[in-house]
Amino acid sequence: MEPSLINIFEGFIMKHLMIAVLAVWATSVGASESNAVMKQCIDSTSDWNAAAACHSEYRQAVQKQERAELSDFLKHNPRYRVPGQSLNRCWGKPREMPFEKSTITVGPDGMSASVWYKDKLPTGCYENAPWDNRDKKQ
């Protein structure tokens, strides 16, 4: 007996429904640590205000730790404090000029400018600078 079109359609819907249910279940299985702490706070007391204070203390401790990490990162990577400089790995380093010397002379016939360019430029700090300066061995 061949399966009818309705049975095929229902099977198709059930297959995709099961995939959606599994996806939702997989993302909700790893409950956050914050939720677990909140559950502990609620289980430890019957007073909602005390449970909220308990969870607030936890959140403040986590934020303090995150801010300390960010502060350390900014201390070693000050270019991230200035808008638009996060990709500038040469920020704060001496700039390499492409010429050795230049002169301007003024004579009776007008002005004359001369520039002596270098034969080779060293590789710039874009190629060899680390993303995070804390990784550098000093």
Partners of 102 in beta bridges: 115
What does the pLDDT look like over 65-100, one tens digit per residue?
Answer: 999 999 998 888 887 888 877 767 677 766 667 778
What does the pLDDT look like over 11-34, one tens digit per residue?
Answer: 777 787 888 877 776 666 556 888
What is the distance between the alpha carbons of residues 53 and 61, in angstroms, rounded to a whole number? Answer: 12
Q: Widest CA span of the chain, in angstroms?
A: 108
Residue 137 has pLDDT above 60, yes or no: no
Amino acid at 77: N
Residue 128 has pLDDT above 50, yes or no: no
- For residue 112, what pLDDT band results from cuts at 50, 70 and 90? very high
- For residue 4, what pLDDT band results from cuts at 50, 70 and 90? low
What predicted TM-score, i.e. pTM, was given to this entire model? 0.49
For residue 73, the tally of other CB atoms under 10 A from its CB is 13
Could you write out the DSSP letters of every residue in 55-104? HHHHHHHHHHHHHHHHHHHHHH-GGGGSTT-TT-TTTTSPPPPSEEEEEE
What does the pLDDT look like over 41-53, one tens digit per residue?
Answer: 999 999 999 999 9
What is the distance between the alpha carbons of residues 86 and 105, in angstroms, rounded to a whole number? Answer: 41
Angle CA(45)–CA(50)–CA(53) in degrees, nearest 5?
A: 135
Structure tokens at 51: 């449970």
Partners of 106 in beta bridges: 111
Q: Where are the domains of the chain?
A: 1-30, 32-119
